[in-house]
Amino acid sequence: MNESGRLSGSKLDEYQLVSYDLAYSSAELAAARVFCDFAENTTTTGELEEQLALMFCAEMVHNTKGRLAARRNEYGLSPEAFTTAFESQATQDFVQTYQQTSQLVDLGKLMLEQDGHTVDAQLDEDKQIMRESFQRFATDVVMPKAEHIHRDDLMIPDEILKPLVEMGCFGLSIPEEYDGLLVDGKEDNLGMIVVTEELSRGSLAAAGSLITRPEILSRALLAGGTAEQKQHWLPKLAWADPFCAVAITEPDFGSDVAGMKLKAEKVDGGWVLNGAKTWCTFGGKAGVLLTLARTNPEPGLGHKGLSMFLVEKPSTDGHEFSHKLENGGTISGKAIPTIGYRGMHSFDVFFDNVFVPDSHLLGGEAGLGKGFYYTMAGFSGGRIQTAARANGVMQAAFEKAISYSKERKVFGEPLGNYQLTLVKLARMATLMTASRQFTYAVGRLMDEGKGQMEASLVKLFACKSSEWLTREAMQIHGGMGYAEESAVSRYWIDARVLSIFEGAEETLALKVIARSLLENAA
């Protein structure tokens, strides 16, 4: 702690490795607790749920022991405390029982028999209808176009966009009074999670990430927008008229929001913006950019000198744009070539004397200096939504791994007959189910106005899990998994971005999770 009684950031940085491992172990432990609660409270027989939960818990204990053992002294754990926690006979027996090869093999065989179906999600009737509706759309409309969009680096076509608008996809986070789908303004994170998961199963970039930006912008507006701004913008966002994007990250500042320096200078009737933003996803197609800018250049203000603007621009389908705006100035952009996550395209965006009227300062005069807080309000749902995206990509990869294991013969036997394949499938099933139930549980918490810390935990856990699972699905495909014509190669590449955006895993682990754990323990 520093002199003011707060946790010292510089001191914490001296322990980044142990802090990161502590954060991930906490995320894995939280997932295990949720999984056990789910298995205990299931409305079905519960046998498979219990087996999956216990197998996941056994692996979690083994993983955590490995992380802590190498640096036990740095965690302040005495040999006696470590032995009590991880080396008691009961703990060893538990891990041995639920991680033995025969258990994993039997579960792998069951997954093949059930075509990858794990357990019932335990959703209510409304959410199940939502799931089935978007599941059909992902299978029938998105999947047939996903590979073409990825390989040819295309923009998302209207054949995907228009039906999703009609299905109300973009109004999931907007109250009914503003023409959205939220009843009486109540939160429905779980509904958003279910929709995101199914669309991401179809394609992360061509469908699964479409509702992230309207989610962020609508939350920011609801948190700080004036009555006039809410009335004007929220109905438009609900019907994707226009599409929107978020311009937060800058070339020299990623997750360090307080360091942002795109400049906004006050002029008669508004503000003039100069500077650059990067990783502005959907920035070309978008007709409005939620833009964070520095309205007070006073040194030392940090995030308190930031404000949020709604910058309007023409919509463009190409990889580059340059528009002279009617109000004054030029806004231009160029898509960043990426190995995956194609379809929406992420842009470098340049603001050259771009005039923004006072009416487009989020919150009006009262919003000056509050841009950081509106950013946090906007991104509060982004982390849980990213966990849902990870679950959808995992589901798609798991389905492909199951089907290929049945079809592909190696040395005269189906690939799924081999022990190592079955073990892989079993571990994939436990990890994916744990991640899904963890995400649902946090979504329900957030619907009650809680769960901000848990959203960071599940984002960290789900995104790391998706990298491992898609890698294993790709490995099961062998050489075909490395071929661009195989969908699993796209799943693996797309999964890689999940741990980077909406809060890089290192930032989440060190600046959010570990800090919170240590502050609460102090």
Q: Prior bond to 242 cis, omega within 30?
A: yes
Ramachandran region, residue 249 (left: φ > 0; alpha: ψ -120 to 50; beta: rest): beta
Residue 47 annotated to the active site? no
* Fold of the CATH domain 244-373: Butyryl-CoA Dehydrogenase, subunit A; domain 2 (2.40.110)
The alpha carbon dihedral of 2, 7, 8, 12 has a sign of positive
**From CA 395, how far away is CA 115, in angstroms rounded?**
12
At residue 1, the pLDDT reads: 56
Determine the residue type at 315: S
Sign of CA dihedral 479, 482, 485, 487: positive
Q: What angle do CA 393, 134, 493 make, to 5 degrees?
A: 20
pTM of the shown model: 0.93
Give the residues across from 31 on adjacent strands: none
> Radius of gyration over alpha carbons of the chain, in Å?
24
Question: How far apart are the C-alpha atoms of 401 and 111, rounded to whole Å?
Answer: 11
Q: No. of H helices and E strands in the chain?
A: 19, 10
Count Cβ atoms below 10 Å from residue 139 Cβ, excluding itself.
13
Q: In the prediction, which pLDDT does 466 show?
A: 98
Q: Give the N- to C-terminal CA distance of the chain in Å, as an integer.
A: 9
C-alpha to C-alpha distance for 82 and 275, rounded to whole angstroms: 52
Answer left, alpha or beta for residue 418, where phi above 0 means left and psi between -120 and 50 means alpha: beta
Tokens of 84: 């009590």
Closest of 490, 486, 492, 487 to residue 472, by C-alpha:
492
Residue 496 burial (C-beta neighbours within 10 Å; 0-12, 13-18, 19+):
middle
Place of tokens 């842009």: 347
74 close to 15: Cβ distance less than 8 angstroms: yes
Q: How far lies 434's CA from each of 37, 54, 438, 449, in Å?
A: 11, 11, 6, 23
Q: What angle do CA 308, 215, 444 make, to 5 degrees?
A: 125
What pLDDT, on the 0 to 100 scale, is given for residue 183?
86
| Residue 140, number of CB atoms within 10 A of its CB | 10
Per-position pLDDT tens, the chain of length 522: 555 567 777 788 888 999 999 999 999 999 999 999 999 988 777 789 999 999 999 999 999 999 999 899 998 899 999 999 899 999 999 999 999 999 999 999 999 999 989 998 889 999 999 999 999 999 999 999 999 999 999 999 999 999 999 999 999 989 999 999 988 768 899 999 999 999 999 999 999 999 989 989 999 999 999 999 999 999 999 999 999 999 999 987 655 566 678 999 999 999 999 999 999 999 999 999 999 999 988 867 777 899 999 999 999 999 999 999 998 999 999 999 999 999 989 999 999 999 999 999 999 999 999 998 888 887 777 889 999 999 999 999 999 999 999 999 889 899 999 999 999 999 999 999 999 999 999 999 999 989 889 999 999 999 999 999 999 999 999 999 999 889 999 999 999 999 998 778 998 999 899 988 888 876
Which among 208, 144, 173, 233 is positioned nearest to 377, based on CA atoms?
173
**Distance between CA atoms of residues 489 and 480, nearest Å:** 9
Task: Say if CB 291 and CB 262 are below 8 A apart.
Answer: yes
Cβ neighbors of 180 (< 8 A, separation 6 or more) are: 168, 171, 172, 173, 174, 218, 234, 235, 238
**One-letter identity of residue 440:** Y
Per residue, what are the HEC states of 467-495?
HHHHHHHHHHCCHHHHCCCCHHHHHHHHH
pLDDT value of position 293:
95
By the 8 A CB rule, do 274 and 299 touch? Answer: no
DSSP state of 353: E
Query: Domain-by-domain residue ranges, the chain?
Result: 244-373
Question: What pLDDT, on the 0 to 100 scale, is given for residue 4?
Answer: 58
Burial class (CB in 10 A: 0-12, 13-18, 19+), 56: buried
The single residue of 28, 250, 454, 502 carrying the catalytic annotation is 502
